């Protein structure tokens, strides 16, 4: 076979790239730069245009992940996945736990195309990882499976994480960094613009681009819907386990910045530009709590999107309600038992000290009647045993149900209502399938097992799981191609309009009937 057949070449707007042949007609192009390296004087600065090159650039090796620590894989960390049994570690890998190298020079994307000469739907993947970890490269993300299952050209974009991607400029001298809020979001927008300008050369349809992601990636997409820098760069969006509901106010983000500066030992924001990378990574792990509630609930303490008023002028939810995304069809999904994974890994640290502590946490979610909501959760009954076969801990179970709703399911429903109120179209679904059998739950990230073709690797390739994988990937494929996943659009006037995948009924109401009245029903 000729070298040109083994290593296909494509001309981009910045220069030619040489990839690796994939199948008979496709190619994999790894490590294509879409912005200048954010190192040296460009640290904590918005993504800058990449310099053009002459000749042909090899794009055959996947790039390192953005600079990060991986606390889940550190044996010294409480609750480390490295200390868990082999199956738990395999699950973590299947869900994208990062274990490879990372680097500050990270603004590259990877591309998988089934055909170089075609006009296929395009899926741009934004990875999750709590805004602190994640990667566009295998093993954290391998777009080959998603491309094979959906038939789309798949592009995965690296974006800066942790302090380097989400630190809010505040304090003395921060005015010189006024455009440096939400750097991770700006990286994502730069990647989307690259796709808009170049994807036709790789067999993708530049007029049919869908941005998709889960968890932090989906929350990012919630902001991309109204981000000026991303306007016109995509046409549809898929948000799984994310919404427009996780956005920090300036005051909360400023508190994180002050803590980070103190931990690093510098006086002002600009002082971070010369600090060794390891000091920043060590400090960012120390100043952010590991607890999901302390991070995610309103005015939490964590990394993520900030309504800064400049880079992100409007709050994403209010922007959607005002019509910012009414011409962008949305597919919004969630899992039935989102917080179960955090309860399992957090062990005793996840359990509230008492019911009063849980009630206090629930008030942060702006609930009208937290006591009534707890009673409604109790009325559902408690499982006889926990996931390890021991006696069920009532407080842990109640907090798991509350956080699943407060962080993921209810905000997703609110986004659906806001989109329809603005005249836009949205389809919603809820996964109740339990990939590891009854009692294993539909936990946060479970959808990646199906979308990433992980059934065989995890030894759960059962007929039931195969059916769920087929249903979910077919819905995504149809949405990528047409904007219709195969069931009617969400209708706020029709209670049961969320498709249930893996349950005994076809459609359900979100939030569920028994708890809907306890949440504030603003749009």
SS (H, E, C) 396-450: HHHHHHHHHHHHHHHHHHHHHHHHHHCCCCEEEEEECCCCCCCCCCCCCCCHHHH
- Residue 451: pLDDT band by 50, 70, 90 thresholds? very high
Instruction: Please tell me the predicted confidence (pLDDT) of residue 341.
Output: 87
Return the bridge partners of 334, or none.
430
Instruction: Please tell me the predicted confidence (pLDDT) of residue 172.
Output: 86
DSSP state of 522: -
Instruction: Please tell me the predicted confidence (pLDDT) of residue 366.
Output: 86
Can you tell me whether residue 277 is helix, strand or coil?
A: helix
Strand order in the sheet with 16-18: 9-11, 16-18, 56-58
Inform me whether the pLDDT recorded for 82 exceeds 60: no
Can you tell me whether residue 498 is helix, strand or coil?
A: strand
Instruction: Please tell me the predicted confidence (pLDDT) of residue 286.
Output: 94
**In Å, how far from its chain's centre is CA 263?**
27
Inform me whether the pLDDT recorded for 269 exceeds 70: yes
Strands 108-113 and 153-157: antiparallel
The answer to whether the CB of 171 falls within 8 A of the CB of 258 is yes
102 is catalytic: no
Tell me the average pLDDT across 59-86: 66
Inform me whether the pLDDT recorded for 389 exceeds 70: no
Asked which of 5-9, 152-156, 176-180, 367-371 is least confident by mean pLDDT, the reply is: 5-9
The length of the chain is: 523
Asked which of 51-55, 72-76, 283-287, 434-438 is least confident by mean pLDDT, the reply is: 72-76
Instruction: Please tell me the predicted confidence (pLDDT) of residue 73.
Output: 45
Q: Which of 386, 406, 400 is nearest to 339 (CA)?
A: 400
Report d(CA 502, CA 353) in Å as an integer. Answer: 34
pTM above 0.85, yes or no: yes
Q: Which of 429, 416, 414 is nearest to 519 (CA)?
A: 414
Instruction: Please tell me the predicted confidence (pLDDT) of residue 294.
Output: 95
Report d(CA 238, CA 223) in Å as an integer. Answer: 13
Instruction: Please tell me the predicted confidence (pLDDT) of residue 1.
Output: 41
For residue 438, report the phi and psi dihedrals to the nearest 5 degrees: -55, 130
Asked which of 35-44, 347-356, 415-424 is least confident by mean pLDDT, the reply is: 347-356
Tell me the average pLDDT across 109-124: 97
Topology of domain 3-516 in CATH is Rossmann fold (3.40.50)
The active-site residue out of 180, 215, 220, 469 is: 215
Tell me the average pLDDT across 282-289: 95
Helix axes of 355-363 and 394-403: crossing angle, nearest 10 degrees: 10
Report d(CA 433, CA 440) in Å as an integer. Answer: 9
Inform me whether the pLDDT recorded for 247 exceeds 70: yes
Tell me the average pLDDT across 227-240: 98
User: Could you give the count of Cα atoms lying within 13 Å of 362 in the half-sphere of its Cβ?
Assistant: 26
Tell me the average pLDDT across 391-419: 95
Give me 176's structure tokens. 């010189």
Tell me the average pLDDT across 468-482: 98
Inform me whether the pLDDT recorded for 244 exceeds 90: yes
User: What percentage of residues in the chain have a pLDDT greater than 70?
Assistant: 91
Tell me the average pLDDT across 126-155: 96
- Residue 2: pLDDT band by 50, 70, 90 thresholds? very low
The answer to whether the CB of 473 falls within 8 A of the CB of 463 is no
- So where are the chain's domains? 3-516
User: What percentage of residues in the chain have a pLDDT greater than 90?
Assistant: 85
Report d(CA 27, CA 24) in Å as an integer. Answer: 9
Instruction: Please tell me the predicted confidence (pLDDT) of residue 72.
Output: 53
List Cα–Cα distances, 54 to 11, 58, 172, in angstroms.
11, 12, 42
Tell me the average pLDDT across 312-327: 98
Tell me the average pLDDT across 76-90: 47
- Residue 68: pLDDT band by 50, 70, 90 thresholds? very high
Give the chain's mean pLDDT: 92
Tell me the average pLDDT across 28-33: 98
């Amino acid at each position: 076979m000729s070298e040109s057949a083994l290593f296909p070449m494509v001309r981009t707007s910045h220069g030619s790239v040489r990839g690796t042949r994939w199948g008979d007609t496709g190619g994999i192009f790894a490590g294509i730069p879409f912005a200048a390296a954010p190192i040296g004087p460009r640290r904590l600065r918005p993504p800058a245009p990449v310099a053009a090159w002459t000749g042909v650039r090899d794009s055959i090796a996947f790039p390192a992940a953005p600079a990060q620590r991986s606390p889940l894989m550190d044996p010294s960390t409480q609750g480390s996945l490295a200390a868990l049994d082999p199956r738990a570690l395999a699950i973590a890998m299947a869900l994208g736990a990062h274990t490879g190298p990372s680097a500050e020079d990270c603004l590259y994307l990877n591309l998988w195309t089934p055909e170089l000469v075609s006009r296929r739907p395009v899926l741009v993947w934004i990875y999750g990882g709590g805004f602190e970890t994640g990667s566009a490269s295998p093993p954290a993300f391998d777009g080959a499976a998603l491309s094979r299952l959906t038939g789309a050209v798949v592009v995965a974009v690296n974006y800066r994480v942790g302090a380097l991607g989400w630190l809010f400029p505040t304090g003395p001298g921060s005015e010189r960094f006024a455009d440096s809020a939400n750097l991770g979001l700006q990286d994502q927008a730069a990647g989307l613009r690259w796709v808009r300008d170049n994807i036709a050369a790789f067999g993708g349809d530049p007029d049919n681009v869908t941005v998709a992601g889960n968890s932090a990636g989906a929350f990012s997409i919630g902001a991309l819907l109204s981000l000026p820098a991303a306007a016109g760069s995509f046409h549809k969006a898929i948000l799984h386990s994310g919404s427009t509901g996780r956005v920090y106010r300036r005051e909360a983000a400023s508190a994180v910045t002050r803590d980070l500066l103190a931990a690093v030992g510098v006086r002002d924001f600009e002082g971070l530009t010369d600090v060794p990378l390891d000091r920043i990574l060590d400090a960012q792990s120390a100043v952010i709590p590991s607890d999901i509630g302390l991070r995610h609930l309103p005015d939490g303490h964590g990394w993520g999107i900030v309504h800064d008023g400049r880079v992100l002028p409007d709050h994403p939810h209010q922007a959607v309600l005002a019509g910012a995304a009414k011409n962008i069809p949305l597919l919004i999904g969630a899992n039935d038992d989102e917080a179960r994974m955090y309860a399992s890994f957090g062990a005793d640290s996840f359990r509230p000290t008492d019911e009063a502590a849980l009630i206090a946490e629930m008030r942060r979610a702006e609930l009208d009647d937290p006591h009534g909501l707890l009673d409604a959760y109790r009325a559902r009954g408690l499982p006889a045993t926990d996931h390890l076969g021991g006696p069920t801990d009532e407080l842990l179970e109640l907090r798991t149900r509350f956080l699943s709703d407060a962080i993921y399911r209810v905000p997703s429903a609110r986004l659906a209502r806001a989109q329809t109120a603005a005249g836009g179209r949205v389809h919603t679904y809820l996964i109740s399938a339990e990939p590891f059998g009854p009692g294993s739950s539909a936990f946060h990230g479970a959808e990646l097992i199906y979308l990433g073709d992980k059934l065989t690797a995890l030894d759960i390739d059962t007929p039931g799981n195969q059916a769920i994988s087929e249903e979910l990937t077919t819905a995504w494929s149809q949405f990528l191609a047409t904007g219709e996943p195969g069931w009617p659009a969400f209708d706020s006037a029709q209670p049961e309009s969320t498709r249930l995948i893996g349950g005994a009924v076809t459609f359900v109401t979100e939030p569920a009937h028994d708890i809907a009245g306890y949440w504030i029903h603003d749009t």
